[in-house]
Structure formats: C-alpha cells, structure tokens
Chains A and B, each alone.
Chain A
Amino acid sequence: MIPSHAPFDPNQRTIISALIPTLTPEQKAWLSGFLAASQGGAVAAPAAASKPLTVLYGTESGNCESLADKVAKEAKKKGFKVAMKNLADISVKDILKFEHVALIVSTWGDGEPPEGAVSFHKEFMTADLDLKGLKFSVLALGDTSYDKFCQTGKDFDTRLAALGAERIADRVDCDVDFDDAYGTWKESLFAALGTTASAAAPAIDLEGFAPTVEYGRKNPFPAEVLDNQLINGEGSAKETIHLELDLEGSGLGYEAGDALAVVPVNSDGVVTAFLAASGLSGTEQVEVKGEDMCDLKEALTYKLDITGLSRAVAKKYFALSKSDELGEIVSDKNKSEFKNWSWGREVVDLLELFPVQKLGAQALVSVLRKLPPRLYSIASSPKAHPGEVHLTVAAVRYEGHGKARKGVASCYIADEAKSGEKVQVYVHKNKNFRLPVDTDKPVIMVGPGTGIAPFRAFIEERGETSAKGDTWLFFGDQRYTYDFLYQLELQDHLKSGALTKLDVAFSRDQPEKVYVQNKMHEQGEEIYKWLEAGAYFYVCGDAERMAKDVNTALIDIVAKHGGKSADDAAAYIDALKKDKRYQRDVY
C-alpha cells in the first residue's frame, strides 16, 4: 500500500493504508487538493509577475527529461512562465532569448553528452556569445563508476559562466541514485530565483492523480516471474535469458521502446565473501542514507553496490585504509591508470588487498554507493502480451584476477529470478525510442545480441497494429546455430509479414569476424532506398563499438549510394536525427 520508504512512521502508515482504499475518487481528489493547499496556500503571496524560466534538458535514457518535467511542473505551480526545451531541438543562438535557465543534462560513456545533445554541446563549447544577464543553474546527471563523471554538466556549467552568464545556484552532480541530489538542487534553484510564491490558487492536480498505490521508481512493483528461459542453445558460449514478468495489478503501463528498471539483489555468495573480507559479522546495525536502520548484511544485500569499483569508491576507502599503495593507485597522477587497475576487480578486492584494522560497519557503508537499479530495454509489446513484460538479459560472467565475477543484475536475473519468484521493477519511459506513429513508414532496426530486445517489441507491435510499412531487422551474435536469439519467433514474424526482411551476422561462424555493419554494407543500396522512402532507423545495443560502427557504416552507405560527400552524408544523418528518424538505445 504505502511504500515502506514513504515519510511516515509505521503507525501513520497503517492508518493511511487503511483509509485510502475506502475513499471514492472524489474524496481522494478533494483530499489531495486540500493537502496541497494547506501547504502552499498559507503563505500565499502575489504571484511573481510570471517570471520566465526555461528548463533545458539533454536526455539519453529519459531521466533528465523526467526531472526537467518535474521541475517545470513545480515551477508552473510556483507561478513561473515555464518553457521546457530539449537541447536536441534548439540552436545555440536560441539561448540568447532566455532569461533564466535551468539546465539538466546527463553524461554517457567516456564523458559524452546524450546523443540528442551532441551537436548543441559541440557548437556551444566553441560559440562566441555574450550571455551577460542570463541566470542559470545546472543539474548534472552521471554515474560515479565512470571516470568522467558528470562531464557534460560540468562543461555547460563552466562554459555558461565563461560566456558571462550568472550562476545563481551551484551545479549539483548526481550519481545513479539522483533523487536526493535533485531535491537539493531544486531547493537552491527556487531559492535563488526568488520565492516567487505559488499561483494564487492551490493546484488540484487531477491530471496527475495517482491510483491508490502508485508503483514506480520510488516504489518498485514486485513482479512475479512467469518464465525464465535460456535462449542460447546448448553449446553456446553465451548465456542470454528471456524473462517474462507478470505486471497484472501493478498499474504499470509501457510502450514498445520503453525500458524496465530491475532492482537487483546481491547474491548470497558475493555478500558472504564481502563480509568475510571485511571482518564484520553482518549483524551490525547500520544506516544507509535515507533509509531505516538495518543490519549490515541486509544493507549489503539489498541496498548497497558492493561490487562496482569506481575511483570514487576507492578514494573513499583509501580515506579509511590509508594504505600507501592504494593512495598511489587513486592518486590524481594515476587517474588514467585506474581503469586498467580496477578492471576485473570489485570492492571486495580493496578489502582484501588493503585491509583496515577494526573496520567499522558504518564506515564501510559510507564508502559504498546505493545499489542502483538496472535498466533493460523491454522486449515485449504490451499489445502482444497484455499484463506482461519481457526482457532479454545477457548474464555477465567472467574471471577477473583469479576470481569468478558476475554482473549484479544480470546474474541476479539469470540465477535467482526463477519462475514464481518476485522481482522489483518499474517502468522507465524512453520517449526517444519509438516506432513511427505512421505505421506505413518503413523501419530498419539494428540490434545485435541483447540489442534485439526492443526490436522484438517493435516487431510484435508492428504485427499487432497490422502496420503496412516494411520492417527490416539486422541481428548478429557469435554463432548461428546457438545464438540466433528468438529465431523461431522471427521465422513466424517473417511468415506473418510483421517482419519483412532479416539479415544476420554471426561473428564466429567463419575465420573472419562478420558484424551487423558488414551486413549493412552488403545491403547498402537497399538501405539507402529505404531511407529515401522515409524509413526510420533504429540501433540498440553496445554503445562503445557497435553503435559507432553502425553509425559510420550508415554515413558511408549514404555517401556511397546517395552520391554524397562525407560532409553531406553526415548532414543527411544529422537531419535524420533531427527528424527523429534515427533513434538509438545504446548502453
């Protein structure tokens, strides 16, 4: 009912939980309006004469977009004249028109901006603008396990100031678990903008009216596993799991293209080894920021990332261990070396290599970041599988420094999420990965490995909507016989017409490596024809190499078969992006 982390004590929780189900929708609406009014209305001051606020965002996974949306809504309530803009949709000069800017942007991979914000970022960093008079604040999203943490946010923050804009609230950098940091930033932003006060009337936001129990990021839904099926054949070097979850009763809805966040659980074996290395028993009471006290073992199992060894974690641990060797490793001069050193290592290796005498449980907890949920591209169309959601998950297992290592979430799914078990999930919208609304449009999808996931959803969707447009899938993996994910389903889709064309690349079936981009080249003429006919082009999967190679291949194809110069081909691809005809879901 009321999620355990909601700010109520158990007694309040019981009372509220008992009350809510008895309320009619009208009563709920009245109550929510009443409560909202009693909060803001008491100090009602005249509305600021509609101060303009532009919320700019650059988004990859949709997190920045949803935070932008949140801050925009709140600003509206406070009486601002709010405009919300995606960096992908504006030009650098547009920024001259703004007075107050709240910029929310994430960082990907090796310090790169989100796909849609790349060209804006590039131009802005070199643009010669006078931004005197502009007031701004930046919220940067990132992941501390990457070296260039929040780099894009930092870039914008520095550049805005350099061009003369006034930073009215300090930039806040958020880790994967961004709620608290967002809250802090938002408060200081609004404080700086002036307590312009809310609109005269308390908003009764019926539009956003919530069901009795709202499942979501704050309150994941415990979905029952309907099926957990290995979909590589015996003899494969890969381990890909097709997971089917029951969403019945969750109120969670999704569209083909969305992602599902899975809240993982650290495995018993990993927790036990971690405890053994720490010299702690696990029964020590600890507090994880923002949560109730619990014993250490519970915190290590459910709440903390006890494997990911980022430089940030190593530095914090160095503060405890004070080992000279570790100091050397985390020193700034060895920053670039750290990645090599940490490859194949986990936090437990820190505990073992640089033991701390009488390590305190709370001190240990303070080193660790919160266990982040993992996003998986949804592999099902809700129209084809009502009440269910499917995932395609590659179990990550490897050996590092003599130890068997495993991906936290993927192996949790592979090993623990068996039929009948429950997995905590919520839907993560990805508005930037959608089939064309016009079902007559052709689509080309490139999804090797688990990159096939959203395309299984797309193809199902095309089938369910009897889309007239042609659908073309490029799939690839290691070996045809063992790794042709969803082969039988794809055969059926070819027969039904939901899938028109299928090209496959299996890298280990011949002496030379063959990848999807090689198959694209073979079909270059046809691809260009499809693009000219208005095709939408989608890529899903590995960001580091595949997506880049596919992008290069696409530019080459457009150049070759469109008879264009390299620059013109790149411009053609940029135009595709602008038109949202080139969408990527890469990780």
Chain B
Amino acid sequence: MSEEKKLSANEYLKIESNYLRGTLAEELADTSTGGITEGSGQMVKFHGCYVQDDRDLRANRRKHKLEKAYSFLMRVRLPGGVVSPKQWLHMDWISENFANNTLKLTTRQAFQLHGVIKSQLKRTVQEMDKVALDCIAACGDVNRNVMVNPNPHLSALHADTIKLATEISEHLLPQGGAYHEIFLDQEKVISSEEVVEPIYGKTYLPRKFKIAIVIPPSNDCDIHANDLSFIAIVEDEKIVGYNIAVGGGMGMTHGVENTYPRLADIIGFCTPEQVVDVAEKVLLVQRDNGNRCDRKQSRLKYTIDSRSTEWFVQTLNEYLGYEIAPVRPYEFTTNGDNFGWHQDETGNWHLNLFIEGGRVVDSPAFPVKTGLREIAKVLKGEFRLTANQNLAISNIPNDQKAEIEVILEKYNILKSHERSALRLYSIACVSLPTCGLALAEAERYLPVLVTELEEVVEECGLRHDAITIRMTGCPNGCGRPFLSEIAFVGRGPGRYNLYLGGGHAGQRLNKLYRQDILGVDAKEILKPLIEDYAKNRQDGERFGDFVIRAGYVEATVNGLDFHKNIKPEAIPS
C-alpha cells in the first residue's frame, strides 16, 4: 500500500460521519424529497438500507413534475436465516404495509424489503424492532449477515452452528449508537472514542465482509463467495472444529481484468471455541491491510493476492497469538438445497420449499405468501431461509406435520419443488427495476429463460438432472454467478455474458463461454451443448465438468486465472 495514494471517497465519508451518523437524520426528516444525498446513501448502507429508484418509471417522472421514484431496499440481518413464526408474521405485515407487498429471501439468508419510501423508513425499522429484528450492518463496509447451512438432518449440528453464527454476528456488530439514535429515536449515549467501535474504529473495513458456516457435504452457502468461511468437521455426529477458508468473493467489473471472482483458500483448522476469535482476527488483518484507495481492489481476496496466502496465514497467526491447525479432510457434493421433507434425529420435521427467485409473493397459481402466513399463525417450529433463496419450514413437531400439510395443500405450496431440477437450482439477483447497479434483467427474466431451456432439457431427458444456473444483472455477484455451471451476467439491456464450467458443488469458478449474447438467443446457444451432455456424459458427470472435458471452455483454476484461457470464439470480433 503506497501511503501517498489518495484514499477513496468513502473513507473520508466514514471518517467524517461521526460513527455512521453523517447528516442522515436531517435528510430523513426532509419531506421534500424521497431521496438522500450520495454521501448519506453510502452511510445508510451501514444501517442496512440502499436508496434506489424505480428504473421502469424513470423516463416520464420529470414530465409528471416528480423526482425519480425513490424508495429504499432494507436488508434484515438474520444470522443463519432463522426466523420465528411471530417474526415471520410481522415481516409479512410490514411488507404489505410499508414495502411492495413482497418479501425477498436473499442469497445470504436475509430478508429484503423493497419499495420502502423514505417517510416510512424509520417507522419500518421501529416495526422490525418490535420483533427483535434489525438491519444493522446488513450492508456497508462491515461484516454482513452470517450464513449457516439450514441443516435439516441433524438439529444438534444446526443448533451449534446457529449459536456460533449468532456469536460471530454479535461480536462483529458495529457498536456505535447511530442506528438506535437515527431510527429508534434513542438518546445519544456519550462515550469515549476508543470504546465506540472497539473492533472497527472510525473507518470500519475497507469494504464489505462476508462470513459463512457450512456443514459438508453441502456447500449451499458457497464458501468461495465469502471472505471467511468455517467448514464444519464432524466426527461421530459432533462438530470437532472448523476448517478456515479465506478470500473468496464474487464481484468484478466488466472490462477490468484486475477484478475477478476468486476461490477461497482453505488455510487451516480451528476448534469451535476459537471460531469467534479467528473471525475477529481475520477481519482485523483485512481492516489493517485492505486497500482503502481503490474500492475495486479492497476485498480480502485482493489483500491476499496482492501479497500471498502464506503472508496472510503468518499475519493471522501473529494477530491470534497462536497457530491455526492443519486443514482436515472434507468433501462437498452440492451447493443446492435439499428439497422436500426431512426428519431430524429428534423426530421433528423440516420441509425445504422452492421459492422462485426468493420472492415471497402471491400468484393465482401459487399463493405462497398467504399460505406461509397461515402456517406462521400455527407453526410450533421456525422458518429457515436457505442460502439459495428458498425457505425451510423447520422443527415441525411430528404431531403437527399433518396440520401443516393441510395448509400447504390448500395453498398449493406442498408441491413447490416439483419442478425441473434446472429451475430448482436457479438463482437470480433482484436487478431491475430497483437495483441501481443492474445492467440487464435478472429476477424478472431468469424464470422465462428457464422455461425456454426446460424444453431442451425435457427433450434430452434431463428433467431430474440438477444443473446450477444463475443470472445476475451485473458482475458484482449478488447471485454468486461465477460459481454456477451456467451463468448469465448482465452487460446491457437484454445482453449477457454467458459463463460455463463452474463446479456443481461450487468448488470451481466458471469461464466466459460467450461474451455479450442476447438473452433471447441463449436457448439456441445452449441447446447443442445440453444435447451433447445428454448423449455423451459419463456416469455421474456434472454439466460443469462435461463442458470442460468436451472442450467448450477451459477450466478456471483460481481467481487470477478467471480472465485467461478464454476461447477466441467467446469474444465477438
């Protein structure tokens, strides 16, 4: 890090914000606009909100003498994605009264509300607070929502990992009172500066920071998309410790080759007791060494690549004051969800539902929002948001299963996952119309595209063969596109880069297959490959592996390799 380089603008914003206050309170009180200034836009992210506008409506707003149709995305922190029925009911009510009538289940097991207008932002936070939910640090240069596999088979393991996730989340939560003052009208607590943010300090992290806990063989949380992951090592149905994975991450920028998705390095092993400490120290190494001049180079993945993995491990050990242990063996088989009914060792039932695009909304054929509301009214268990934008109804006592099934049947939810495997393994980010970063459609278009591809898949007899397919409106990676077997990453209206060859268990990055294709051409482009796969795959061979063996794309070995070895035909001349 050269000291003479100018810090990025966000660093000054943080420094001058008085621990994330800035001018946010005043701007929220300004009724003349539904928006906020750019600086406050950065600040409000730390409090879990993004200011957005309805891009579908942009064209005519000025003519109507109206400003852009501003609203806020609110991301609700839910360590491990666990929600009580009471919380579900209240979030459902909030979504109907303050948001766009939908709940979005995110790829990081959080709730997202969309379309909350500025005048209702505080009120919405206050409503969440009534059921002990918040959006502190759901976005911003801090640790984000901590993910956990919603493991339906072993409740004991889930209980352990949820406890851990909550501990990590609480430990790494910003301590400053800004959120409570601004949104909950709490009195400002006067305290000396050192104790305001003992972990983060005034400038917080260089960039966002993501943590996940997985239980092999499921890699549903996609460890390679996280800055830090803990891979549970289970012996005799007990977690004996965790492998530590660092430096994963998705985001990149089109045309900027020193930005790239990167696989995490599995650097060692720690005991359950050490996890919170390790998490803190990994975060501190990044806090002290991450790039604060160029936000496109500031994630932990670049901190590691700009030095070396060895340097990182050595530095981490120094911060810890002890050495992390050698990596233990583990194996991932999938990063998808385990749909349908499962019974755990205590006899309780878990049902993993499919929620397309993570969007909980009623449609005439699939009144899932109403159905889940009815379930929440009686459920003795809990809800678990999965890492793949789906939902598990969990810990249903054996004697309540029948009652729940009746409701599921009534609202046509029971068979939510009786879809093609392709659809079940799909992920789309929100994208248009609200996301300011979106270059192309995603959540609104992927279902359409999957329907087209289903024709091909069905013809080839692959209805039950899972292929991970993900679509994002931009290359920042909310939908973890670079870890899927087929990925569409938006470039412009209706245009996408097509990537192939990701590992089915999220263990390998994919590779650019065609740059800048029209979404409407996707079916014709993919059809011959899928037919080839159906005819010529080896026993158990996954689509992501096949396209590499068949020579459609080269395998991507690591992040630095992502933009290399691209076939000439991938890029239009």
> Which residues in A have some Cβ–Cβ distance to B below 8 Å?
229-235, 242, 480-482, 484-491, 494, 502-504, 506, 509-511
Q: Are A480 and B32 interface neighbours, CB within 8 A?
A: no
- CB contacts (< 8 Å) of B71 on chain A: these are 481
Q: How far is the CB of B431 from chain A (nearest CB, A)?
A: 19
The answer to whether A233 and B32 touch across the interface, beta carbons within 8 angstroms, is: no
Which of A235, A487, A503, A511 touches B57 (beta carbons < 8 Å)?
A235
Give the residues in chain B near A489, CB-CB below 8 Å: 65
Q: CA of A233 to CA of B70 in the docked complex: distance in angstroms?
A: 12
Residue on B nearest A504 in the bound complex, by CB: B31
- Looking at B117-125, B177-185, B515-523, the stretch in contact with chain A turns out to be B117-125
What B residues does A502 contact at CB under 8 A?
31-32
Q: Which of B60, B65, B70 contacts A234 (CB 8 A)?
A: B60
B274 part of interface (Cβ distance < 8 Å): no
A481 to B57, CA, bound (A): 11
Q: Decide if A506 touches B119 in the complex (CB within 8 Å).
A: yes
**Known interface pairs A480-B34, A491-B32. Does A231 touch B65 (Cβ–Cβ under 8 Å)?**
yes
Partner of A233 from the list B31, B64, B123 (CB cut-off 8 Å) is B64
Binary CB contact string for chain B from 21 to 58 against chain A (1 if under 8 A, 0 otherwise) = 00000000001111000000000000000000010010
Name the contact of A487 in the complex, choosing from B32, B63, B97, B117 (C-beta under 8 A): B32
The answer to whether B65 and A510 touch across the interface, beta carbons within 8 angstroms, is no
> In the bound complex, do residue A510 and residue B97 qualify as a contact, i.e. CB atoms below 8 Å apart?
yes
User: In this assembly, does B307 line the interface, its C-beta being within 8 Å of a C-beta of chain A?
Assistant: no
Specify the chain B residue showing the minimal Cβ separation from A230: B64
A481 to B64, CA, bound (A): 11
**In contact, B67 and A510 (Cβ under 8 angstroms):** no
Given contacts A480-B119, A506-B119, A509-B117, are A233 and B66 in contact (CB under 8 A)? yes
- Contacts of B397-419 to chain A: CB distance below 8 A: none
Tell me which residues across on chain B come within 8 A of A488, comparing CB atoms.
Answer: 62, 65-67
The verdict on B61 contacting chain A, using a C-beta distance below 8 Å, is: yes
Q: How far is the CA of A502 from the CA of B119 in the complex (A)?
A: 14
B482 within 8 A of A: no
Given contacts A230-B64, A481-B71, contact A491 B33 (CB under 8 A): yes
* Bound-complex Cα distance A232 to B65 (A): 8
Cβ 8 A contact of A480, one of B54, B57, B64, B117: B117
The answer to whether B327 has its CB under 8 Å from any CB of chain A is no
Q: B67 to chain A: closest CB distance in Å?
A: 6
In the complex, 16 of the A-B residue pairs with CB atoms within 8 angstroms, ordered by the A residue number, are: A230-B64, A231-B65, A231-B66, A233-B57, A234-B64, A242-B65, A480-B119, A481-B66, A481-B69, A481-B71, A484-B66, A491-B32, A491-B33, A502-B32, A509-B117, A511-B97
Q: Which residue of B lies closest to A479 (CB)?
A: B117
Q: Which B residues lie within 8 Å of A511 (CB)? A: 97
Across the interface, B64 reaches (CB within 8 A) one of A229, A503, A504, namely A229
Q: Is the interface of B mostly helix, strand, loop or mixed?
A: loop
Are B32 and A490 in contact (CB-based, < 8 A)? yes
B69 touches A233 (CB 8 A): yes
* Nearest residue, chain A, Cβ from B94: A511
The smallest beta-carbon distance between A394 and chain B, in angstroms, is: 14
Contacts of B32 in A (CB 8 A): 487, 490-491, 494, 502
**Contact digits for B66-102, partner A, Cβ 8 Å, 1 yes 0 no:** 1101110000000000000000000000000110000
Distance between B408 CB and nearest chain A CB, rounded to angstroms? 29
CA distance A230 to B66 in the complex (A): 11
CB distance from B553 to the nearest CB of A (A): 43
Indicate if the CB atoms of A485 and B65 lie closer than 8 Å: yes
For A242, give the chain B residue with the smallest CB separation: B65
Chain B residues contacting A490 (CB-CB under 8 Å) are 32
Q: Which B residue's beta carbon lies closest to that of A485?
A: B65
Smallest beta-carbon distance B424→chain A, Å: 33
Q: Report the minimal beta-carbon distance from B434 to chain A, rounded to whole angstroms.
A: 12
- Taking CB atoms, residues of chain A closer than 8 Å to B67 are 487-488, 491
A residues less than 8 Å from B70 (CB atoms): 481
- By the criterion CB–CB under 8 Å, are A510 and B120 in contact? yes
Choose among A480, A489, A490, A510 the residue with the greatest number of B CB atoms under 10 Å from its CB: A480
Would you call the interface of chain A mostly helix, strand, loop, or mixed?
mixed
The residues of A that contact B66 with a CB separation of less than 8 Å are: 231, 233, 481-482, 484, 487-488
Does the CB pair B65–A487 fall under 8 Å? yes
Please give 13 more A-B residue pairs, beta carbons under 8 A apart, in addition to A233-B57, A488-B67, A490-B32.
A230-B64, A231-B65, A232-B64, A233-B66, A234-B57, A480-B117, A481-B66, A481-B70, A485-B65, A494-B32, A502-B31, A506-B119, A510-B98
Closest CB in chain A relative to B72 CB, distance in Å: 12
A487 to B31, CA, bound (A): 10
CB-CB under 8 A from B97, the residues of chain A are: 510-511
When distances are taken between beta carbons in the complex, the residues of chain B under 8 Å from A481 are 34, 54, 66, 69-71, 117
B61 partner residues in chain A, CB cutoff 8 A: 233
The docked-state distance in angstroms from the alpha carbon of A231 to that of B60 is 10
Nearest CB of chain A from residue B114's CB, rounded to whole Å: 13
- CB nearest to B97 among chain A residues: A511
Tell me which residues across on chain A come within 8 A of B120, comparing CB atoms: 509-510
Inter-chain contacts of A482 with B (CB < 8 A): 66, 69
Chain A residues whose C-beta falls within 8 Å of the C-beta of B57 in the assembled complex: 233-235
Q: How far is the CB of A217 from chain B (nearest CB, A)?
A: 31
Q: Which residues of A contact B34 (CB under 8 A)?
A: 480-481
Q: A501 to nearest B CB, angstroms?
A: 10
In the bound complex, CA of A431 to CA of B65 (Å): 30
- Contact of A231 with B117 in the complex, beta carbons under 8 Å: no
Most buried by B among A230, A235, A487, A506: A487
Of A235, A485, A488, A489, which is in contact with the most chain B CB atoms at under 10 Å from its CB?
Answer: A488
A231 pairs with B64, CB closer than 8 A = yes
* Closest CB in chain B relative to A196 CB, distance in Å: 57
Shortest Cβ gap from B53 to chain A (Å):
10
Residues of B near A231 (CB, < 8 A) are 64-66
Residues of chain A contacted by B63 (CB below 8 angstroms): 229
Q: Are B60 and A510 in contact (CB under 8 A)?
A: no
User: In angstroms, how far is the closest chain A Cβ from the Cβ of B120?
Assistant: 6
A23–B98 CA distance with the chains assembled, in angstroms: 69
Residues of A within 8 A of B62 (CB): 488
**Contact across chains for B33 and A510 when beta carbons are under 8 A apart:** no
Top 5 A-B pairs, shortest CB-CB distance: A511-B97, A504-B31, A487-B66, A231-B65, A488-B65
* Min CB gap A183→B, angstroms: 44
Determine the residue in chain B with the shortest Cβ distance to A487. Answer: B66
Taking A480-B119, A509-B119, A510-B120 as contacts, is the C-beta distance between A229 and B65 under 8 angstroms? yes
Inter-chain contacts of A494 with B (CB < 8 A): 32
In the bound complex, residues from chain A placing their C-beta under 8 Å from that of B98 are 510
Distance of B327 from chain A, by nearest CB (Å): 52
Closest A residue, CB atoms, query B62 = A488
- Given known A-B contacts A510-B98, A510-B123, A486 and B65 have beta carbons under 8 A apart: yes
Instruction: Give the nearest-CB partner of A227 in chain B.
Output: B63
A510–B97 alpha-carbon span in the complex (Å): 6
Cα A272 to Cα B484 in complex, Å, equals 63
The CA-CA distance from A480 to B61 in the complex, in Å, is: 13
CB neighbours of A485 from chain B (8 A): 65
- Cα separation A242 to B64 with both chains bound (whole Å): 9
Contacting A at CB under 8 A, from B339-374, are none
Enumerate chain B residues within 8 angstroms of A233, measured Cβ to Cβ.
Answer: 57, 60-61, 64, 66, 69
List of B residues within 8 angstroms of A504 by Cβ: 31, 119
- Which chain A residue lies CB-closest to B31? A504
Tell me the bound Cα distance from A373 to B67 in angstroms: 34
A485 to B64, CA, bound (A): 8
Tell me how far the C-beta of A234 lies from the nearest C-beta in chain B, rounded to whole angstroms. 5
CA distance A486 to B67 in the complex (A): 9
